[in-house]
A and B are shown apart, each in its own frame.
Chain A
């Protein structure tokens, strides 16, 4: 074999990617699998997050004005959630079963002087009235959101959800799902923080 000057191809082979030892290719699949197994193992120990959190926390409440959900209380608008003290904004519906479960807790919060503004999602006035008659009425106002417009605007993705709104109209905290007894102190603490 005569001595040949290095061809253009061998010059190209000086590029670092070519010089990677075969070992990298051989061990890469195992390394990738180990990473996946670790990730999967970790995720199996975590509770599955079924719900979608709002990305509007820390943002100002969007402008809205909803008509009354039923005859007994006035409707809700953004202006009703601004000024004075922090309030709870409760997204609910009469056809929502967990809302029945959280009614006593809302009553308890109301009894402690918390102002609760409600938004009823896709509800008929008579159904709203029936629900409140059976499970109590802790609300000062209830707006009727027939096409989930406000619900979408604040980043809520289901019922029931409760938001803490401070005096400046900024969304400070979101509680997803029905309010349990153990959640009452948490909500009260968030209301305090929002002052």
Chain B
């Protein structure tokens, strides 16, 4: 029971079970960039990066201090002219695919792309089989 409560606690407030730090958040953790286009880019990217200390949230949705620091990194790098893909690659180089919700085709994620393609083939097969059979039947019946 306690474990359940603690898990829920940890999950939903996304803070370490230990005490909280008292330092202020990073400058760009809670401040938007002035340029709306850059801010839109940064926000779109932040929604696809995972908060590492939370159960399952993007850094845009989390109030954990580390999420704030990651948002600061994203925004300051966008401001410095880096592209979202570069920033994502920088984070993936440090934490692996886990940190990115946008899967890229790699050795560990290829089934995620292969299987939908297979699904399309199966769907087409099922539908065309119906169509082929039905037309053939209709042809015989005439």
Contact = CB atoms under 8 A, between A and B. Distances in A.
Q: Do A and B touch each other in the complex, judged by CB within 8 A?
A: yes
Interface of A: 1, 4, 7, 9-10, 12-13, 17-18, 52-56, 59, 93, 95-98, 121-124, 127, 146-149, 151-155, 157-159
A154 B94 contact: yes
B70 A1 contact: no
Contacts of B20: 95
Interface residues of B, number: 36
B136 A152 contact: no
Interface stretch (B21-29, B36-44, B78-86): B21-29
Interface of A: prevailing SS: loop
Given A18-B125, A148-B66, A123 B21 contact: yes
A52 B95 contact: yes
Nearest to A51: B52
B138 to A, nearest CB: 10
Contacts of A96: 16, 18-19
22 contacts: A7-B136, A9-B135, A13-B132, A13-B133, A13-B136, A18-B129, A52-B96, A55-B92, A55-B94, A56-B94, A95-B20, A97-B19, A122-B23, A122-B65, A123-B23, A146-B23, A147-B27, A148-B69, A152-B73, A152-B94, A157-B53, A159-B16
